[in-house]
Amino acid sequence: MTSQNQAPRSIAIVGAGQAGLLLGCALLDQGYAVTLVTNRTPEDVWHGRVMSSQFIFDPGLQIERDFGMNQWEAQCPNTEGIGFSIPAPDGSGKQALHWHARLRAPGQAVDQRIKMPGWMAEFQRRGGELRFEEVDIAGLERLAAGHELVLLAGGKGEIVNLLGRDESRSPVKQPMRQLALTYVKGMRRFDYFECVNFNLIPGVGEYFVFPSLTTKGDNDTQVCDIMVFEGVPGGPMDCWQDAKTPEQHLEVSLNILKTFLPWEHERSRDCELTDANGILSGRVTPAVRNPVLTLPSGKLVMGLGDAAIVNDPITGQGSNNATKSAGHYYHAILARGNQPFDAAWMRHTFDDLYDNNLSAVARWTNSLLFPPPEHVVNLLGAAQQLPTLASRIANGFNDPRDYLPFWFDAEGAGKAIEQAAAPMAA
């Protein structure tokens, strides 16, 4: 990236999360001088509250492998497919619809409480400078004065709001779900291969659940399952305000399953929390932000990961996006050689990623926040009879651009159903 006599290019990253650490470590391997500033120490993260369910599909895992960042791959349970269920509307507790289909390659979820401390150590091992500080505008100015490129990868931190929403790319203006996470052990398995089991309860919300690797005590790990609840605001799954203790949070989780998804309750009834911090509730406002921030000094900062684009977790794409973004920025930085990281380059780098990839993820994710149109109901129903269609829908999670031809209009959906049915009829 530089000739032998030149000093390495210097890059500062704010935020030690999925995007910042991955990109920072990858750039260190290429000889860049990387400073990473974050507001939580490894100990804070390990002993803190869970932040996500962080399920990553194979294309994201491949980027981690390519960067030598797959440290927990052998320990973490594999999830082989996607299961999809809708309960019967008559309240009988039966499934009106169920299918499951294999992913082309498994996905995994490593608790960020394990991953981020581990990656911070890896960042330092590769020669990066790691600092602990709550970064504000003055902090950004200091970083911009001393580095050729400053990336803001502050996730959900207040600071990312400095980038400002791009309203034209952010059609959903408020949180559409009340979210909750419950990390548990002791869940029984279904009699089919391991899946992200996604349940859609019309008018109430969604529940999905899958295995993960989480923390155990001060430095050990254990396998668990992560329950993810997505309640329609004001509906019966928007019920976390009264859960004041971790035990009450688990009780609310199990009550929801008992009421709406008895087949999930049946295998979860004896579950225990992994730890008192294995719970979370909150809301996310989907946003695409302006990728470039101009500081009072005129220096520039570029958004990365959730700071640049954040979606509701309903499709489990945020960590995947952060990973793909890190990969995309990595190649763009390398391709830039010794030319300046100016505003035009920043905008082009983000627009290229957004237009050719992440806009499709956002469009599909946002579509699931509203009652499904008839053609989507037809697609999901037909998948029960048509394994190739079930497989096509399941594998779209790997790369949501694959939904573009068939998810968004009745004609495309009809064709997808016909195509999937054709070999069966032949």
Ligand X SMILES: Cc1cc2nc3c(=O)[nH]c(=O)nc-3n(C[C@H](O)[C@H](O)[C@H](O)COP(=O)(O)OP(=O)(O)OC[C@H]3O[C@@H](n4cnc5c(N)ncnc54)[C@H](O)[C@@H]3O)c2cc1C
Q: Contact positions toward ligand X, by CB under 6 A?
A: 14-20, 37-40, 52-56, 134-135, 153-157, 159, 179, 181, 228, 280, 284, 305-307, 313, 316-320, 322
Least Å distance between CB 414 and ligand X? 31
Least Å distance between CB 307 and ligand X? 6
- Residue closest to 190 by CA, chosen among 225, 223, 229, 215: 225
Residue 373 burial by Cβ neighbours in a 10 Å radius (0-12, 13-18, 19+): middle
Considering beta carbons, is residue 57 or 407 the nearer one to ligand X?
57
Least Å distance between CB 388 and ligand X? 26
Exposure pattern of 89-118 as b/e (b: 16+ CB <10 Å)? eeeeeebeebbbbbbeebbbbbbbbbbbbb
Least Å distance between CB 259 and ligand X? 21
Residue number with the shortest CB distance to ligand X? 17
Considering beta carbons, is residue 1 or 47 the nearer one to ligand X?
47
Considering beta carbons, is residue 56 or 346 the nearer one to ligand X?
56
Considering beta carbons, is residue 37 or 144 the nearer one to ligand X?
37
Considering beta carbons, is residue 284 or 421 the nearer one to ligand X?
284
Backbone torsions φ then ψ of 215, nearest 5 degrees = -75, 155
Structure tokens at 253: 């989780």
At 195, the amino acid letter reads: C
Least Å distance between CB 316 and ligand X? 3
Considering beta carbons, is residue 39 or 259 the nearer one to ligand X?
39
Considering beta carbons, is residue 40 or 126 the nearer one to ligand X?
40
Least Å distance between CB 209 and ligand X? 11
Residue 258 burial by Cβ neighbours in a 10 Å radius (0-12, 13-18, 19+): middle
Q: What distance, in Å, lies between the first and last C-alpha atoms of the chain?
A: 56
Considering beta carbons, is residue 310 or 382 the nearer one to ligand X?
310
Considering beta carbons, is residue 204 or 228 the nearer one to ligand X?
228
Least Å distance between CB 420 and ligand X? 27
Distance CA 86, CA 206 (A): 10
Least Å distance between CB 93 and ligand X? 27
- Residue closest to 38 by CA, chosen among 97, 111, 119: 119
Q: Please compute, for residue 337, the number of CA atoms within 13 A of its CA located in the half-sphere on the CB side.
A: 2
CB-based contacts of 239-248 (< 8 A; 24+ apart in sequence): 240/178, 240/180, 240/281, 243/281, 246/273, 246/276, 246/277, 246/278, 246/279, 247/273
Least Å distance between CB 14 and ligand X? 5
Least Å distance between CB 51 and ligand X? 6
Considering beta carbons, is residue 93 or 235 the nearer one to ligand X?
235
Find out whether 26 and 290 touch, Cβ atoms under 8 Å.
Answer: no
Find out whether 348 and 355 touch, Cβ atoms under 8 Å.
Answer: no
